[in-house]
Structure 1
C-alpha cells in the first residue's frame, strides 16, 4: 500500500530555504519584543476542552480541533443517541495564544511581575476551509500586557509591533483603531437590540468587503429591523466624516490619546467599522494593514474580562498578534533577501587523509561567524559540488592534499 507524501490539507512542509527565512523573521520579531521589555513564555499546544469552548472565541469555536478521550475515559458502549461530540472529547488544540496566556497568568501570577509584559510564538490550529493564505495550522507571534488598565498599554503594544513589522521590511503599514464600547454606543443610538451586538459585529466586520448594501441585506436576513439598520449605516457615514469628535466619552478621549502618541511614528487612523472577530474584546481594538497585502497583517485588542474565568478578581489585559504566515507569503513573493546574512560555505573533502585539516579549517571559519558544512565525497566530486551550490551555499571549497587553506580564510 502506497501512502500519499502530501501533508494534510491546510498544513505545509517547510523547506530548508523557507525555514531560513522563517527563522530570521522570528528572530527579528523576538529581538524587537525583548527590546521593549517583553519576556518570552511558552504554553502547551493542547488545552482542556471545557476552557476552549467557554472562551468567547467567536467563530473560532466552530473550528476547534478536538481530541478524543483515551483509555479508560473512553467507553464506546456508553455512547447513545444523545451523546454529543464534546461528551467524547476532553482536550483540544489551541486556536490562539491569548486564552492559554490568561490561564498561564492565573496559574503563575504569584511569581510574575505586575504589569506582566509577555510574548509567545507558536503554532495554533483552526479547522478552516483550506484556501490560499488560510491554513489549519499556522504560526502566531503575540505580545500582551496584563495588569495595566490604561491606554498607555495599547500605545506600548502598537509602537512595539509596528517597529517589528518595519524591521521585517514593511514601511507602508497603517494602524486602524476602534473601541468595542464605541461600537455598542453606535448600536444603541441606532435603536438596534443590545443582545444582538455580537452577531451584528460579525456583519459589520465585512463592511469593507460587502459594502453598505451587503451589510443592510445581511442585517435584514438576521432579523434586524430595516429602519434601525439604515439608521446605523447613516450614523457610520457621519462618524467617518466627523471622526472621534462625534463621541463625547472617556473611551473616545483615550482613543484620541492613542492616536496622538503613535501618529508621529506610524500612520494611524480611527476606523468606526473595525470589529475584530473575538468575542472576548472589551475595549480598544486595532489592526495593522499593509499596502503590499491589501489586508491586515497584525491585530489585537483589550480583553479585560478574560482572566475572570480563572480568578475572582478581574485583571485588565491587552494584546496584539502578528499574522506570521501572511508576512512570510509577502516576503516570499517579493524574493526577499535576508539582510546581513552570514556567509554559508561548504567544504568537500575527497579522502580520509584530508578530514583532519578540513575540520581545523571549518572551525577557523566558524570562529569568524561563518556557517560551514563539511561534506564527504570520494567520487563524482564535480556533481556533488554542483548539488551543494544549488542548495544555496555561497561558496564551495573542494579540499585536496595540495589545497592551501590559509589563502581561503
Structure 2
C-alpha cells in the first residue's frame, strides 16, 4: 500500500492551523497594500533556462525540475550524460526571478516605479529538518524603477509596520551594502577571483566566530597579507561603538577611507526610516559583515531581526542587474521578503476565531430541508455555520468545533423554526 503521508519536507495543514495562517496572511497583505504595493501573480513554473541562468545563487541547485513530456526510452538514454536536456520547466525556488521575468514582459503596462506584492508558495529540494521545508510560503514586496534610498526605506518601513501589526514589536533591521563589502575586501588586498569564496567564509562569522573565519581563510590559502589585515580589523571591531546609524557610526565600523557614495546612501536611508517612525529609536543596525548569499545583490542588503529569536525573520536587498538580463538594459530593483513560516509560529494564536461562527447540533431525524433552511438563514446574516449531527460525546464534538474557530452553538430539533434557535457560547 502506498504511504498516506505527504511528500517528505511538505505538510498537510489542518483547519485550525490553516485559519491561523490565513489570518496572518491577511494582516501582511493588508499592511503591504496600505503602503501602496499592488499584488501580482506569476506561474508556479518557469522555463528551465531562466531558473538556471546563474542569477539564483545556490537556490538553482535546489530547484525541482520538470521532465519534458513525451520522451521515449531512447531519448532518455541519449540524455544520460546531460540530465538538464531532459527538462524544460522547473518549479520556482523564489519569487524574485519570476518577478524579473514578469516585469520584462509587462513593462509597458506598469507604472514607471512599480511596487509589487507577491505572496505565494515556492519549492526547494532542501534537506528537510525542523523549520525547513521543501514547500513554503514567501511574502515579498519589491520596488522596481527607483535607484534611490527611498525605495529601501519604503520596504523597511512597510516590513516593520507589518510586524507591528502582528504584535511582533521591537524588530530591527541589520543593514550592509554589497559595494561596501567588495570595497572592504579590496582594501584588505584580496584578489577579485578569491572574493566570492572569502564572502562565503565571512558569512559564517555568526556561527564560527572571528577565529573560525580567519582559520578557514588561511586553510583556503587566501592571500596571506589580506587575511592578516582582515584579522586585525576583526579584532578592532570590538572597540568600535556600533550605536546609531549616522555617518560617524557607519564610518567607524568600516576601514578608513570608505567611499562617500556608499556611506551617504546608507545615512540617507537611516534618516528616511527615522522620519517615518517619529518618537522611536531608529531600528537599523549597520553590520559590515552581513553578506546574504544570493549572488544577484548589487547594493544595499538587509535582514530582519527580532529579540524573541536568534534567527532572521526575513531579508532582501538591491538587485539592479537582474532585470537587465531579460531586457538588455539596467533597471533598478530592490526587494524585501518576510519569512512567513517563521513568523506564523511567533504570532499569538488568540483571536483566530471568527466573531460570528455557529455550530448547529441536530438530531438524526431533522429533515435536510429544515437543516438547510436554518443554516441559510444564519449565513444570510453573515454568520459562518457548520452542521453537526448530535453524538453521544457532545462535549468532544463542541470542543473540536471550538478548536476549529467556532464560538457559539445551537441545537435544532425536527419542526423547529430557524428564528427560534438559542445561540450559546462554546466556552
TM-score, normalised with respect to structure 1: 0.91
Contact kept in structure 2, 1:347 and 1:399, CA below 8 Å: yes
Partner of 1:97: 95
Unaligned stretches of 5+ in structure 2? Answer: 242-248, 253-257
- How many Å apart are 1:226 and its aligned residue? 3.2
- 1:275 maps to 2:291: yes
* Structure-1 separation of matches of 2:235 and 2:35: 38
Contact kept in structure 2, 1:56 and 1:279, CA below 8 Å: yes
* Post-superposition CA distance 1:304-363 (Å, at most 9, x none): 0001111121100000101011112233xxx62136842321112325656555445434
* Structure-1 separation of matches of 2:79 and 2:100: 35
Partner of 2:336: 320
* Structure-2 separation of matches of 1:74 and 1:25: 48
Partner of 1:389: 399
Partner of 2:423: 408
- How many Å apart are 1:219 and its aligned residue? 1.7
* Structure-2 separation of matches of 1:74 and 1:172: 58
- 1:190 maps to 2:188: yes
Contact kept in structure 2, 1:299 and 1:322, CA below 8 Å: yes
* Structure-2 separation of matches of 1:372 and 1:294: 42
Contact kept in structure 1, 2:179 and 2:298, CA below 8 Å: yes
Q: Structure 2 residue aligned with 1:301, among 313, 317, 321?
A: 317
Q: Map residues 9-408 of structure 1 onto 2, 5 A cutoff.
A: 9-72=8-71, 75-76=74-75, 79=78, 83-236=81-234, 238=236, 241=240, 243-246=249-252, 247-263=258-274, 265=277, 267-331=283-347, 336-338=349-351, 341-350=354-363, 355-356=368-369, 358-375=371-388, 377=389, 380-383=390-393, 386-391=396-401, 392=403, 393-400=406-413, 401=415, 405=420, 407-408=422-423
Change (3 A) 1:186 1:73: farther
Change (3 A) 1:353 1:127: closer
What's the secondary structure of 2:55's corresponding residue?
coil
- How many Å apart are 1:237 and its aligned residue? 5.0
Change (3 A) 1:386 1:298: same
- How many Å apart are 1:239 and its aligned residue? 5.9
Aligned length: 401
* Post-superposition CA distance 1:44-88 (Å, at most 9, x none): 11111111111422221221212222215884365266x222122
- How many Å apart are 1:260 and its aligned residue? 2.2
Contact kept in structure 1, 2:146 and 2:333, CA below 8 Å: yes
* Structure-1 separation of matches of 2:198 and 2:100: 27
Unaligned stretches of 5+ in structure 1? Answer: none
* Structure-2 separation of matches of 1:189 and 1:237: 16
* Structure-1 separation of matches of 2:378 and 2:90: 47
- How many Å apart are 1:366 and its aligned residue? 3.5
Change (3 A) 1:73 1:102: farther
- How many Å apart are 1:228 and its aligned residue? 1.0
Change (3 A) 1:268 1:102: same
Change (3 A) 1:162 1:55: farther
- How many Å apart are 1:302 and its aligned residue? 0.2
- How many Å apart are 1:370 and its aligned residue? 3.0
Change (3 A) 1:358 1:252: same
What's the secondary structure of 2:301's corresponding residue?
strand
* Structure-2 separation of matches of 1:399 and 1:326: 43
What's the secondary structure of 1:389's corresponding residue?
helix
TM-score, normalised with respect to structure 2: 0.87
Contact kept in structure 2, 1:192 and 1:228, CA below 8 Å: yes
- How many Å apart are 1:295 and its aligned residue? 1.2
Across the aligned residues of Structure 1 and Structure 2, the Cα RMSD in angstroms comes to 2.4
